[in-house]
Amino acid sequence: MITRFLAGGLERRINILLAILVAAAVLVPVLHLAVPASSPLHMPTYVVALVGKYLTYALLALALDLVWGFCGILSLGHAAFFALGGYAMGMYLMRQIGARSVYGNPDLPDFMVFLNWKELPWFWHGFDHFWFAMLMVMAVPGLLAFVFGWFAFRSRITGVYLSIITQALTYALMLAFFRNNMGFGGNNGLTDFKDILGFNIQADATRSALFAASALALALGVLVTSALVRSKYGKLLIAARDAESRMRFLGYRPENIKLFAFTLSAVMAGIAGALYVPQVGIINPGEFAPANSIEVVVWTAVGGRGTIIGPIIGALLVNGGKSWFTGALPELWLFALGALFIATTLFLPKGIVGAWEEWWKQRRERDGRAPMMSARNPIESPAE
Amino acid sequence: MSAKTTTSILYLDGVSVSFDGFRAINNLSLVLEPGEMRAIIGPNGAGKTTMMDIITGKTRPDEGEVFFDGRVDLTKHDESEIAMLGIGRKFQKPTVFESHTVEDNLVLALAGPRKAIPALFHRQTKAERERIDEILQTIRLTARRDELAAALSHGQKQWLEIGMLLAQDPKLLLVDEPVAGMTDAETEETARLLREIAQTRSVIVVEHDMQFVRELDVKVTCLHEGTVLAEGSLDQVSGDSRVIEVYLGR
């Protein structure tokens, strides 16, 4: 059933995207590890880390697009789920440090020793195990999204009101995580990681593996999202986006349709966050900052919401631009980002991918090739 | 509740609802027999749409009884549940899923399970496909099945919505102004469609177009200020002096 479901999402463009991601997962580690540093084909460590980070952003943007583009839920708090996944991974990585920490306490992370804590808080238990941490990476954001969505969608909170409370959610989490008493390292967050699954986190091979894992996670995200939106459930998602009350009078419960997408999207964001943290080496409450969530919206809008490829292109382009911009003209970056969002809204309301699709359709019509829809049914209705 | 059992498909008794002090529905009583088609007329603000809102669970009445199928208390159910009980509704402004194709609109409306997760793995059966072909024939949109609903003309959207009601296969249909904005030919066609539907179902039609009501040739109820002003054949109702005064004009 699952195989048939996933196969339902395959179409040409998705296949190409999947092929590129899988190829990148193989080629980049080869170019990074096997090609000598003197060769022009060699991929330096910082590029691997940077692009690997972008891929996790792309997965986050895809997760947002599932709820925003396909279901009309403009979440301005999706970075919260990303950060929660990141914290779950960070807690595992902290536990791996063991006695190699500055204070050398084998049982407690440094910040707890510093706070004079005598024993590990209950919610840190289990994070010594990778499998448990991975479970939490998905379960914590998923559960939060489920509970939040259950109340919000049942109360029929939609549109801008929903956006505002998602923003409030991430802001509240940021304030909470800033507190030392919370037990997540306060404003310093979790950092100084040593190894993951026994491999040195700084090693080239580990970085390559994390890159490959990010590319494959994104590929899986694409496959699942694509299959989802092409199933009957996907049609329900779009219907809930466009005419929620109509659905009710057909007997559907749009709140349940939305809740499933919202929860799945949060899980995807959590996985993205978990892959992000070992590649950047730190997770702190700044990741919950409202501006982060808004940036994700910008990536998605620029690339093209309501498409699978759009948010990925948007995340890669905008972040590539950001890396260049913050190097060349750091003080202008935020202005550039704002201008980009305004320009997209005004001139490319469907984003890059949407505009490209439109252009392609127009070109085909100009070339005298009728669009596919009417070509299949050349006879016009007599009722017209 | 069994004491209240009636043979009627829809039973409204003493229903009242106010919005901010305004009595939109005032002690309204209405009985619809199984298989009956009823036309509701009345001036703007007579409470026609509010009555539909109450029957479909969108609005809760302040007082009064609303029973469906002789035994189900509709005031205790919400929109989705009422739809699943077998009450379908067509809105005044045609409301279809614009970014879906004509066919997909019918697929979503088709009677069947409404759960989210099973929809992930849903495969269309032969019976479902045939039913959709049949409905497309009935509403004369076969040739446009693969086009987006947004591309349809106003009249065709109305028909698509009626087709969605057919797909939903309700016992009772509430149809709000089905011919608003239609050409004469389309109006005639719609009357034919509704009469066809009414052969196997109960239907309530709200309409302003008297010509159309005449074509339907059914019992008429005239509402005014949220209550029933007159009921009977169109000739009886349109001959009633109070109806002439408040609605038809002298």
Q: Please write down the HEC assignment for all residues of chain B.
A: CHHHCCCCCEEEEEEEEEECCEEEEEEEEEEECCCCEEEEECCCCCCHHHHHHHHCCCCCCCEEEEEECCCEEHHHCCHHHHHHHCEEEECCCCCCCCCCEHHHHHHHHCCCCCCCHHHHHCCCCHHHHHHHHHHHHHCCCHHHCCCEHHHCCHHHHHHHHHHHHHHHCCCEEEEECCCCCCCHHHHHHHHHHHHHHHCCCEEEEECCCHHHHHHHCCEEEEEECCEEEEEECHHHHHHCHHHHHHHHCC
User: Which of A239, A260, A382 is opposite residue B100, by nearest beta carbon?
Assistant: A239
Output the pLDDT for position B177.
87
For residue A242, the chain B residues in CB contact (below 8 A) are 97-99
Span A259-267, average pLDDT: 97
Output the pLDDT for position A11.
81
pLDDT in tens, B20-35: 888 899 999 999 999 8
pLDDT in tens, A48-59: 999 999 999 999
Output the pLDDT for position A375.
37
| Residue B89 touches chain A, beta carbons under 8 Å | yes
Q: What is the CATH number of the domain that holds B26?
A: 3.40.50.300
Output the pLDDT for position A384.
31
| Residue B56 to chain A, least CA–CA distance (Å) | 8
CB within 8 Å of B104: residues ≥ 6 apart? A235, B97
Contact check, Cβ <8 Å, A257/B117: no
**How far is it, in rounded angstroms, from Cα B194 to Cα B213?**
11
Span B44-60, average pLDDT: 91
Output the pLDDT for position A377.
38
| Residue A116 touches chain B, beta carbons under 8 Å | no
Output the pLDDT for position B5.
59
Residue B166 maps to a domain: no
pLDDT in tens, B81-136: 999 999 999 988 888 999 999 999 999 999 888 888 888 888 888 999 999 999 99
For chain B, how many structural domains are there in total?
Answer: 1
Residue B106 maps to a domain: no
Output the pLDDT for position A368.
62
**How far is it, in rounded angstroms, from Cα A373 to Cα A364?**
13
Range of B69's domain? Answer: 2-96+171-248
Work out the pLDDT band at A365, boundaries 50, 70, 90. confident
| pLDDT of A378 above 80 | no
In terms of residues, how long is chain A? 384
Mean pLDDT for chain A? Answer: 91
Q: Which among A250, A259, A373 is the top mutation candidate for probing chain B, defined by the most B β-carbons within 10 Å of its own β-carbon?
A: A250
Extract the tokens encoding A332.
Answer: 């202008």
Contact check, Cβ <8 Å, B120/A231: yes
Mean pLDDT for chain B? Answer: 89
| pLDDT of B1 above 60 | no
For residue B159, the chain A residues in CB contact (below 8 A) are 383
User: Phi and psi dihedrals of B219, rounded to 5?
Assistant: -65, 140
Output the pLDDT for position A372.
47
Residue B134 maps to a domain: no
CB within 8 Å of A23: residues ≥ 6 apart? none
Contact check, Cβ <8 Å, B116/A233: yes
What global pTM score does this model have?
A: 0.91
Work out the pLDDT band at B247, boundaries 50, 70, 90. confident
Span B209-230, average pLDDT: 89
Tell me the residues of chain B between 188 and 227 that have a Cβ less than 8 Å away from chain A.
Answer: 189
User: Which of B56, B146, B189 is opposite residue A376, by nearest beta carbon?
Assistant: B146
Based on C-alpha coordinates, what's the Rg of chain A? 22
Span B136-145, average pLDDT: 92
Residue B45 maps to a domain: yes
Contact check, Cβ <8 Å, B121/A253: no
Output the pLDDT for position A8.
72
pLDDT in tens, A318-342: 999 999 988 888 888 889 888 998 9
Question: Angle at the Cα of A55 (from A49 to A59), degrees rounded to 5?
Answer: 145
Contact check, Cβ <8 Å, B143/A381: yes
| Residue A372 to chain B, least CA–CA distance (Å) | 9
